[in-house]
Structure 1
Amino acid sequence: MNAAHDDPAELPVCPSHAGDGLLPDELRAWMLLLAATGSVEQRLRSVVKKTLDVSHDEFLILCLLAEQPGEGLRMSRIAELLGRPKTRLTYQIACLQHAGLVTRKAVCDDRRGIEVALTDKARGRIEDASAALAETVGTAFAHVIGPEQREALAALVPAPADDAR
């Protein structure tokens, strides 16, 4: 990001407000979200490597598992949530297991199912890195999302239905 765009108020006008494009508001907002996410991921990669010593894709797996307190997730569910091929996921899980960050076990009622869970070592690393990771995400979004962009992103979130009273 260049210095001219360090302040969200100095961001270029959001394309969603130009009004002369071919895309509907929802698609423009989706493209804005993808661009913002890409920017955040780019900044996050180095912090993830430095604080957790894992790849960005491995970090995403750890994040999914961190949201499952006391339990794990099936590998098929992780692949589904991340939109990753199961073969690639198998390699990433093996790397995390080798690093002592996850465990794998067979699911009792399904001989083909494998459940993955965080180890205490991984939980400790995530807790230690949380502040730096959260700051990186917040700072990265602040650099790419200003008031106009927030308004455009609202097109992705449906308005709550009025209660029929």
Structure 2
Amino acid sequence: MEEGLDAERLACWRAYVESSQLLLNRLDDELRGASELSLADYHVLVLLSEAPRQRLRMGELAGRLVFSPSRLTYQISSMERRGLVARQSCPEDRRGSEAVLTAAGLLTLRDAAPQHAASVRGYLMDDLDEAEVACLTRVFDRLAGRLRADGTTTPASRTPGSVSVSVKEK
């Protein structure tokens, strides 16, 4: 049996899990209320808006969103029906396809961005000093790099309940 976490690390873990879920749920609810975009929709639009020619191969987009291919297909299909994105064959490789930001998608993103940025500031960023921002950035960049490098934490490899931990016996 694996050793659990000491009380301090368990408190840190639980605070992270609970606060991050609360934050993501609040941001998603507010975004949907103001723009009818989900947080996932918004993230897709941001990534496409920042990409060259406002398009990304579906596989690259799935990797950046940390979505399984089937989840991305569902996401893009939903957004396509609403006119936010289009799916097109890759110009260089007709076998692949790309998600492409539409003019309506860019306009929707531009309309939603100020409110979403205000929510992110209000719920998280305005409460952090410069040292905390730098520390959290280092921690989460390092974590993401390690998880991406080992390749074992793809959406398909995760199992429900795999994040529970226990207090270490003293």
TM range (shorter): 0.5 to 0.7
* Post-superposition offset of 1:75: 0.6
In structure 2, distance between residues paired with 1:36 and 1:137: 13
1:93·1:102 contact (CA, 8 Å) conserved in 2?
yes
CA distance in 2, matches of 1:154, 1:104: 33
Counterpart Cα distance in 1 of 2:123 and 2:109: 19
Q: Does 1:109 align with 2:116?
A: no
CA contact (8 A) 1:101 1:121 kept: yes
- Which deviates more, 37-46 or 137-146? 137-146
Aligned-residue Cα RMSD (Å) equals: 3.3
| Contact 2:42-2:109 at 8 Å conserved across structures | no
User: Are the aligned partners of 2:79 and 2:85 in contact in 1 as well (CA < 8 Å)?
Assistant: yes
Describe the shift of the 1:42–1:97 C-alpha distance in structure 2 as closer, same or farther (beyond 3 A). Answer: same
| Partner residue in 2 for 1:56 | 39
Query: What aligned pairs does 1:71-90 form with structure 2 within 5 A after superposition?
Result: 71-90=54-73
Amino acid at match of 1:52: S
The structure having more radius of gyration, on CA atoms, is 1
Deviation at 1:66, TM superposition (A): 1.8
Summarize deviations over 1:25-72 as a string: whole Å, max 9, x none. Answer: xxx6x9876665434322211222123313322222112112125330
1:122 is aligned to 2:139:
no
What is aligned with 2:154? none
Superposition map of 1:19-98 within 5 A: 21=8, 37-68=20-51, 70-98=53-81
Aligned residue among 134, 137, 160 for 2:117: 134
> How many residues matched?
135
- The answer to which structure, 1 or 2, has the higher relative contact order (CA under 8 A, 6+ apart) is 1
1:103/1:119 contact within 8 Å kept: yes
Separation (CA, whole Å) in 2 of partners of 1:103 and 1:115? 8
- 5+ residue gaps, structure 2, are 1-6, 143-170
Deviation at 1:149, TM superposition (A): 5.0
| TM-score of the two chains, using structure 1 as the length reference | 0.66
Contiguous gaps of at least 5 residues in structure 1: 1-19, 159-165
> Aligned residues: percent identity?
28
